[in-house]
Amino acid sequence: MRTTAAAVVTCLVANATLAFAQTSYFTDPNSGVEFSRIGSVNNAAYGGSDPFNIGVTGRGSVGYEYSIGRFEVTTAQWVEFYNAVYARADAISFPAQTLWTPTIWGAVRDTSYTGPGTRYRINPNVANAAMLPVGGISWRTAAVYCNWLHNNKSSDASAFLSGAYDVSTFSGGFPTFTDQASRSEGARYWIPSWDEWMKAAHYDQNRLNSDGSTGGWWTYPHMSDLAPTYGPPAGFPGGSAANQANTGFATPTRVEYTIPLGAYENVQSPWGLFDVAGATSEWTETIVRNPAGQWRMTDGTSWASDAFDQVFVRGSDQPNLPFSSNGLRLATSVPSPGAAIVGVISMMCLGSRRRRAALGPTCTRATRPGFAGLVSLDNVLVCLDGNT
């Protein structure tokens, strides 16, 4: 009886955890990026207004799980990538207008390095330089970064040229380009689609609706239908703990460019993303076309610009050029470590009756790293048979 009770309790806890649909965070050891796992498969699409006729109504539903960076790519991550590209004897051949050095970041050229190639380092004279956003990433440079991660950061030149995106397709700019439209099948890291980006920024699986149902869209990415308070965070000149986003203001001393990612620590999207409003505008892989030409979509507003953070506003730019306002928030198919635990427990609940008689007294402590919420699997002792 104690065995049966333990199994029932475990299944109830697991099912309750899944029912509350909490968010799971994990750090991927290959990329070094902290990701949020985006669930709520086949979520309702955005059904609100589209005042600027950008085609947002009906978008934002995603029929699969994926993960997306809690932060934009950081200066430290970009330095590692750029040194892999440039600090080498065998220069890699890229199509024209593919690789660009960022215009705004927390790194400088390492003048102590004598070769081969060129090496960068975190700027020792800038506070929090490693966590500063990276502005001036072109869409094509972001695609090369995804290739490198897909190939496990291999130093081989071929690792930068394919995997997520085929660099040989990169040509043109405005009004047309021939770049691979979307990520390759099996890509492990990629530039998120507009639907993926929208969902992670604005869709809240736990939003309580007036009819008692849950799941819906916020106008702004900090889980509100009211605009955030724009200004520097506490600890910066002119800053305040009441401020919520690094956009919508510009200072004579350029304070906005010295604010690290995550500085607005209590301001997050429904899925735990930081700086969705502010820092850089973020590339998506979605293409927008009209009679004048084609562009890649961006979303989110950047530092020192007017703030347009509503779900029904987005931008677009040429993929071949490094506009200083544009950066990257990475997406991946790499699973959360905790997903396997939930899957194991689910299978155990389904098949426990059949297996229990054949199993010896085996217990394991179920944990889900980074799992936050009302119900947690942390420290639940699961006994397949025997005593708890």
Express each pLDDT in 74-123 by its tens digit.
999 999 999 999 999 999 999 999 999 999 999 999 999 999 999 999 99
- Whether residue 12 lies inside any domain: the answer is yes
- Whether residue 243 lies inside any domain: the answer is no
pLDDT at 306: 87
- Whether residue 352 lies inside any domain: the answer is yes
pLDDT at 338: 58
- Whether residue 251 lies inside any domain: the answer is no
- Whether residue 271 lies inside any domain: the answer is no
- Whether residue 265 lies inside any domain: the answer is no
Contact indicator for 193, 286 with CB cutoff of 8 Å: yes
pLDDT at 318: 96
Per-residue pLDDT of the chain (388 residues; tens, 9 = 90+): 444 444 444 444 444 444 446 789 999 999 999 999 999 999 999 999 999 999 999 999 999 999 999 999 999 999 999 999 999 999 999 999 999 999 999 999 999 999 999 999 999 999 999 999 999 999 999 999 999 999 999 999 999 999 999 999 999 999 999 999 999 999 999 999 999 999 999 999 999 998 999 999 999 999 999 999 999 999 999 999 999 999 999 999 999 999 999 999 999 999 999 999 999 999 999 999 999 999 999 999 999 888 889 999 999 999 999 999 999 999 999 886 655 444 444 444 444 433 333 333 333 333 333 323 322 223 322 333 333 3
Pairing state between β 315-317 and 293-299:
antiparallel
- Whether residue 367 lies inside any domain: the answer is yes
pTM reported for the whole predicted model: 0.83
Please give the sequence-ordered ranges of beta strands (E in DSSP) within 123-272, or none if there are none.
189-190, 203-208, 214-217
Q: How many domains does the chain have?
A: 1
pLDDT at 41: 97
pLDDT at 189: 98
DSSP letter at 223? T
pLDDT at 21: 60
pLDDT at 339: 54
pLDDT at 225: 96
Separation CA 3–CA 9 (nearest Å) = 10
- Whether residue 150 lies inside any domain: the answer is no
Domain that holds residue 12: 2-17+347-383
Which of 346, 286, 316, 336 lies closest to 34, judged by CA? 336
Q: List all residues 6 or more positions away from 31 whose beta carbon is below 8 Å from its beta carbon.
A: 77, 149, 189, 330, 332, 334
